[in-house]
Structure 1
Amino acid sequence: MNKIKIAIVGMGNCASSLIQGIHYYDGKNSDDSIGLMHWDIGGYAPCDIDVVAAFDIDSRKVGKSIDEAIFAKPNCTTIFQEEIPKYDVCVSMGHVLDGVAPHMSNYEDDYTFVVSDEEPVNVVDVLKESGAEILVNYLPVGSEKAARFYAQCALDAGIAYINCMPVFIVSDDEWDAKFRQKGIPIVGDDIKAQIGATITHRTLANLFKDRGVKLDRTYQINTGGNTDFLNMLNRDRLDSKKESKTEAVQAVVAERMDDRDIHIGPSDYVPWQNDNKLCFLRMEGRTFGDVPMNIELRLSVEDSPNSAGCVIDAIRCCKLGLERGIGGQLTSISSYVMKHPPVQVSDDEAYENVEKFISGELER
């Protein structure tokens, strides 16, 4: 089969994990495909994804080949696939816009962004010349202008858009209408992890509901040491992130909780954690006879590979959308792998919808 040609905005830890994974699974088969939710989607295996264009703003990545850039600072995720073939594609200088928070300049270069003095490229021209079919957005949290800029670039280039960060584009009716009119699929917003804080919190909240337990109060506090957590020290950039994570849980509780009884959001940056994310979760409820109970959970995951396991499915489902001529929101895969999809459904229903979409039983 033909390769799925993608472009990536933001060559950070998430992009590194995705590209490592593409090559890690090359030569494997469905019997030894540990860590995948789907080995085959529409005839496409993970190794059928090809990165044909990339954009970043860091001087240690711009101008470097993709295989070099994914291991450059400040990337700090686990290297599980050291051998990456040499790419002919070099990272292009992107547009900074609001992609770099001012406080990032207060930290050592190894932990933060070092903005290149190169001139930004014409993104639409690069996308067209590369032959990319899908643009994957891995911009930092809070990059509202930049996320919309690249969404428009995808639209102008006539390619699909997967929004992995919490700016509400795919779940916005106006953006949906634009892509729908052009017959281009979109997936988003804000990528989940395979087994991460949000999916675990949702599962437990749903368990409370199904077992007749009243959920009174809950919090989810996360710490990490990658650039994502450093970037999120600026609380002004967190409105959409907090809303995305909170709504993902609110969507599955029996009745909507009061804002003061639910707290979900990034807590702090701990440099030595690198790409490891710690989630501290507490849920307080009442069982039979109004008797109180609580759950406390500590979850430790390598953040970026955890999300790559979902993105690799989003890319292949997006390719099916392209092949089938579907424009606008792909609601099935969005509900399955995104925190703030256009339509929130239970995780069981989302899984069933994705299976139906892959088989062709469900349109989108």
Structure 2
Amino acid sequence: MSDTATAMSNKNAGDDQPPAKQAKVTAAPANDANDAAMPDIRVAIVGVGNCAKSLVEGVQYYVENPHDQVGLMYPDIGGYTAKHLKFVVGFDIDERKCGRSLAEALRAKPNCAMDHVPEITETSVPAAARVHRGPTLDGIAPHMTQYPVDTTFKESGDKPVTLDEATEILQREKVDVVINYLPVGSHEASAFYVDAAVRARCHFVNCIPTFISTKEAKALEQRFIDAGLTIVGSDMRSAWGASRVSEVLQGAMLDSGLMVTQHIQMNMAAGTTQGHETQRTGRTANTDFLNMAKQDRLHSKHVSKENVLKGQNVVRDTSTAGMTLFAGPSLTVQQKPGGTYLGSDNKVANFDIVAYGFGGARYELTARLSVQDSPNSGGVVVSAIRFCKVAAELGIVGFLRGASAWTQKTPPLQMRTGDAKFECDALSRRQLTDLTRAQLKENTPVADTLPYTFQSDTLDYE
């Protein structure tokens, strides 16, 4: 990043304001957090893939096992728990999912994430919830047709819904929040569902790296402000995945006075989906990694992941000039032709960090993290949905900066880990902070005047 860009980043991040953890916190009028009659949060899923499967099944698991809260960052957000989430409609392009019940589609091929419950019931998915055939647009990369059918997309021949029809469906189903789970690189398709959500007055969780440049994010935010809606984005991070580990390690080293000269993060599809360990065959990546096997599909993902690494320098006014900061989005390892193909939802991340400290002493850190990818994402999206709903009830509009920084790789405002958590803690208690108070609808916020960390849509190496 140039010195000019760094200066813009720090200015936009609001260096002249006190840190979030020191900000004044004010309780706002709200529903009684203990009110058992709180309404359901009705959710639409765009892209009924592995992440959707894990999220829905995980919600059902916590409803059926209320005493088990392991894996939930926030069991209660403003009075909303897992039992309040209802997944009422889906949109997809695969013929094995379109026109079917949402519960059935979630377990259709090519989904390969682990099963959290024996079967999907009406606990969180009403029997009437269906999957509609959405427009393909740029949602399927050409190379996806080269893979075995059980591990890739199989495009439906049904007529896609129009924008007017998608809007009407969201309105008819009384959807509160739309989740964008489309494949990485689906820019046109994402714009279609943003349009539908805004027209239908639905809040939005943007789980993929679209609208990640500051220019695009500001234009997107203004649309949601004008419509009186909230948005969390962009590009979901996992509850405890590669981005979280990189952020925490980078931030902790910088806070200890170290200079991080190299931080390389490499990710690959490898290992076995939990519950499939005894199946004696090789493994092919899930659709997320297969989709990113070609460079033209993973560019935005690469930019977004590197935003995590350098973001911790930006918020500390520490230059990245001359440093080696690289986050390889995906190494897609596939099986040899022939035999039995089996998709894997396991992801491995390798980290290699070099830093210098006291008196020029050198530090080296290497680490390996292996995770179930889709459940890891469900662990943050289950919170992001409820943050949108609670913020809206408080009168907040636009990007939720704290929730976005905590759950996404490229939020509008990069934050220190502790400050992002502070904002989420306050929102979960239905309390306003300096950041959220400025975004109250009654204060007529304007995206151009809200705090942003400058982010381009290109890599520093380009």
Residue pair 1:62, 1:92 contacting (<8 A) in 2 also: yes
Q: Secondary structure of 2:235's match?
A: coil
Q: Take 2:128 and 2:219, find their aligned partners in 1: how far apart are those partners?
A: 37
Give the number of the structure whose alpha-carbon radius of gyration is greater: 2
**Aligned: 1:332 with 2:402:** yes
Contact 2:212 2:304 survives alignment (8 Å): no
Q: Which residue of 245, 267, 282 corresponds with 2:305? A: 245
Find the counterpart in structure 1 of residue 236 from structure 2: 191
Q: C-alpha root-mean-square deviation of aligned residues, in Å?
A: 1.6
* Deviation of 1:100 (Å): 0.4
In structure 2, C-alpha distance between the alignment counterparts of 1:35 and 1:266, rounded to whole Å: 25
Deviation at 1:260, TM superposition (A): 6.7
Counterpart Cα distance in 1 of 2:58 and 2:192: 28
Cα distance between partner residues in 2 of 1:99 and 1:10: 9
Question: Which deviates more from structure 2 when the two are superposed, residues 245-254 or residues 112-121?
Answer: 245-254
Instruction: Look up the match of 2:320.
Output: 257
Unmatched tracts of structure 2, length 5 or more:
1-37, 270-284, 335-341, 440-462
Q: Does 1:55 align with 2:91?
A: yes
1:210 alignment partner, one of 227, 230, 255: 255
- Could you list the per-position Cα deviations for residues 321-357 of structure 1 after superposition, in whole angstroms to 9, with x for gaps in the alignment? 2222322111121111111111110111000011112
2:224 matched residue in structure 1: 179
Report deviation, 1:265: 2.0
Shift of 1:85: 1.1
CA shift at 1:170, angstroms? Answer: 9.6
Letter aligned with residue 216 of structure 1: T
Q: Which segment is superposed worse, 94-103 or 283-292?
A: 283-292
| Displacement of 1:249 | 1.4
CA distance in 2 between partners of 1:64 and 1:211 (Å) = 54
List structure 1 runs of 4+ shifted beyond 3 angstroms.
none
Q: Residue 155 of structure 1 corresponds to which residue in structure 2?
A: 198
Instruction: After TM superposition, give the deviation of residue 42 of structure 1 in Å.
Output: 1.0
What per-residue deviation string (whole Å, max 9, x for no partner) do you get for residues 118-151 of structure 1? 0012211111111111111000000011111111
Question: What displacement does 1:169 show?
Answer: 6.1
State how far apart, in whole Å, the 1-side matches of 2:88 and 2:227 are. 22
Unaligned runs of 5+ in 1: none
Q: 1:19 aligns with which of 56, 59, 66?
A: 56
Q: In the alignment, which of 323, 333, 343 is matched to residue 270 of structure 1?
A: 333
1:208-357 correspondence to structure 2 within 5 Å: 208-224=253-269, 225-253=285-313, 255-258=318-321, 261-271=324-334, 274-357=344-427
3-state SS of 2:359 partner: helix
State which of 145, 148, 151 in structure 2 corresponds to 1:105: 145
CA deviation profile, 1:200-230 (whole Å, cap 9, x unmatched): 0111111211222211112111011111100
- 256-265 vs 2-11, which deviates more? 256-265
CA contact (8 A) 2:391 2:427 kept: no
Could you say if the C-alpha distance between residues 155 and 190 of structure 1 is closer, same or farther in structure 2, counting changes exceeding 3 Å? same
Q: Work out the CA distance in 2 between the residues paired with 1:305 and 1:221.
A: 20
In 2, the alpha carbon distance for the partners of 1:285 and 1:145 equals 41
Q: Which residue of 2 aligns with 1:82?
A: 118
Label 1:32 to 1:300 Cα distance change in 2 as closer, same or farther (>3 A): same
Q: Distance in 2 between matches of 1:345 and 1:227?
A: 31
Are residues 1:44 and 2:80 paired?
A: yes
Tell me if the contact between 1:184 and 1:325 (Cα under 8 Å) persists in the aligned partners. no
- TM-score normalised according to structure 2 size: 0.76
Report the CA distance between 1:69 and its aligned residue.
Answer: 0.7
Q: 1 CA distance for matches of 2:362 and 2:264?
A: 17
- Which amino acid in 2 is paired with 1:161? F
After alignment, is 250-259 or 104-113 more displaced?
Answer: 250-259
Q: Helix, strand or coil: the match of 2:368?
A: strand
Instruction: Return the letter of the residue paired with 1:44.
Output: Y
User: What is the identity, as a one-letter code, of the residue corresponding to 2:289?
Assistant: F
Relative distance call for 1:267 and 1:274 in structure 2 (3 A) is same
Aligned partner of residue 26 in structure 1, secondary structure: helix
Q: What is the one-letter code of the residue matched to 1:323?
A: E
Distance 2:192 2:136 in 1: 10
Spell out, residue by residue over 1:36-61, the C-alpha distance to the aligned partner (whole angstroms, 9 max, x if none). Answer: 00111111111210011100000111
What's 1:168 paired with? Answer: 211
Q: Distance in 1 between matches of 2:425 and 2:70?
A: 19
Matched-pair contact (CA < 8 Å) for 1:104–1:113:
yes
Distance 1:342 1:219 in 2: 24
Q: Which residue is equivalent to 1:117?
A: 157
Larger relative contact order, structure 1 or 2 (CA cutoff 8 Å, min sep 6):
2
Q: Which of 117, 127, 132 pairs up with 1:92?
A: 132
Query: Could you say if the C-alpha distance between residues 36 and 164 of structure 1 is closer, same or farther in structure 2, counting changes exceeding 3 Å?
Result: same
| Count of residues in correspondence between the two structures | 363
How much does 1:245 deviate? 0.9
Letter in 2 for 1:28: N
Q: Would you say the 8 A contact 2:211–2:220 is kept in 1?
A: no
* Corresponding residue of 1:35: 71
Q: CA deviation digits over 1:5-56, x for unaligned, max 9?
A: 0101000000000100111011333x42111001111111112100111000
306-315 or 207-216, which deviates more:
207-216
1:8 matched residue in structure 2: 45
Task: Please tell me whether residue 67 in structure 1 is matched to residue 110 in structure 2.
Answer: no
Contact 1:170 1:186 in 2 (8 A): no
